[in-house]
Amino acid sequence: MSTATQILTINNPAPIREIDDLVIGYGKATQSVEHRFEATTLMANAKIALQERLPDDFVKRLKSGAENCRLGFKTDRPDGYPVPVVRECIIEGLLTGVYPFGNEMNIIAGNSYITKEGFTGLMKRDGRFSDVRIEEDVPIYEDAKNGNIRAIVPFTASWKFEGKPDSLKGNIPIRVNRGMGDDAILGKAERKIRCRIWNQATGSVLTDGDAEDATNDSRAARARPVSGRVNDITRMTGGETVAVVDDDLNYGDPAPKATEPESAPQAPAAKPKADLAANRKDPAYKELLLGRCPKCGVHPDAVIGYAVALGAAPDDASSVYEIDRDTVCEILDEWDNLLPGLKERTDKIRAEGR
């Protein structure tokens, strides 16, 4: 046997194949479950089984070869994450249907995030999907008053789900970072579009935020309880929420892995608050809050939580007036884009009597 063959041979593949069998079996079982607590029990059983099949030594080997590598999975820390965090994130990803392979998932702020490749993989592996087509238009750039730039990407999408044709049309707002070109913007938009297709077709509620929306533990933790657009809908519909990350991150060359245990990441300095008094006196701001928030069906606390996750408000923000008006408009635009798909899906379920 050659050296290459020895290196590429897995001496005992049975436990690894059991992981794949568990993940595939869990996915099929949950598609037919009608009761939420039954789904919870299935998830708990699958998670425990995966924990038993992902011991520390095995996860350490995955970390050494796949962490911070585009062939595997990226993280927001050059030295990666401790074994327990990596194990939990891999399990979350697997139970959602994505793998720590081919950049299908990232670990950001200690949480599992689905990338564009992840959504593409989900649809290809799900036999219910076919003929997925996405057409993006040229980005339209807008200058915000706070000096930031955002792009609006008009799109149309069509697909078949369980043989039934469906479609989606709308605009994707993208925050433009320095040096970002059209290709990067269109790549970010495609991930958001695929997320919306997945949500509309399957009834899931996966978030479509960018990587920079949650780059430290404090912001991620603050955003989760009051969560802008997604967790409020999750509470109303009983859906499950999994966060999503940008797929074109650039972390540079990974540093050598640190010895366990590793220190926690340091949170960046708090963002400055907007002019609270001036915003309270601004009639246009009041009209925005009193008019658009109720119309969109979004609570101001949700706006605060999402702004914190975006890094557009300090972690201790307690009033929506502490947020820049352009940021509030961007959040409400995102909410407007999300609701039609959810409403259409709800109407379909009601019409079918499910």
Q: What are the DSSP calls for 212-275, one per residue?
A: GGG-SHHHHHHHHHH-THHHHHHHHHT-----B--S-----SPPPPPPSS-PPPPPPPPPPPP-
- What percent of the chain clears pLDDT 70, i.e. is strictly above it? 65
Question: What number is the average pLDDT over the span 329-342?
Answer: 67
Q: Which residues of 253-280 are buried (b: 16+ CB within 10 A; e: fewer)?
A: eeeeeeeeeeeebeeeeebebbeeeebe
Distance in angstroms (rounded) separating the CA atoms of residues 286 and 137? 34
Model confidence at 270, in pLDDT bands (50, 70, 90)?
Answer: very low
pLDDT tens across 182-234, in order?
A: 888 999 999 999 999 999 998 887 876 655 554 434 333 333 333 333 333 23
Of the candidates 190, 191, 233, which has an alpha carbon nearest to the alpha carbon of residue 342? Answer: 233
Give this prediction's pTM.
Answer: 0.59
Q: Helix, strand, or coil here: 303?
A: helix
Q: How many CB atoms lie within 10 A of CB 236?
A: 11
Nearest to 245 by CA among 62, 124, 111, 92: 111
Distance CA 208, CA 192 (A): 5
Given a contact cutoff of 8 angstroms between Cβ atoms, the answer to whether 63 and 75 are in contact is no
Place of tokens 């794949």: 20
Does residue 130 carry a pLDDT above 80? yes
Residue 110: exposure state from Cβ atoms within 10 A (0-12, 13-18, ≥19):
buried
- Residue 203 sits at φ, ψ, to 5 deg, of 80, 10
Paired residues of 194 in beta bridges? none
Mean pLDDT value of segment 121-138? 94
Q: How many residues can be counted in the chain?
A: 354
141 falls in which pLDDT band (50, 70, 90)?
confident
- Alpha carbon of residue 73 to chain centroid: 14
Residues 159 and 130 sit within 8 Å (Cβ to Cβ)? yes
Residues 56-64: contacts with CB under 8 Å, at least 24 apart: 56/83, 59/83, 59/86, 59/87, 59/90, 62/86, 62/90, 62/100, 63/257, 64/257
- Retrieve residue 157's tokens: 């999408």
pLDDT at 192: 93
- Name the 3-class secondary structure at 280: helix
| Residue in 69, 104, 79 with CA at minimum distance from that of residue 89 | 104
Asked if residue 89 lies in contact with residue 54, where contact means CB atoms within 8 angstroms, the answer is no
Residue bearing tokens 């965090």: 85
Residue 327 confidence class, pLDDT cut points 50, 70, 90: confident
Average per-residue pLDDT for the chain? 75
Q: What is the pLDDT of residue 352?
A: 63
Q: Which residues contact 199 (CB under 8 A, 6 or more apart)?
A: 205, 206, 341, 342, 345
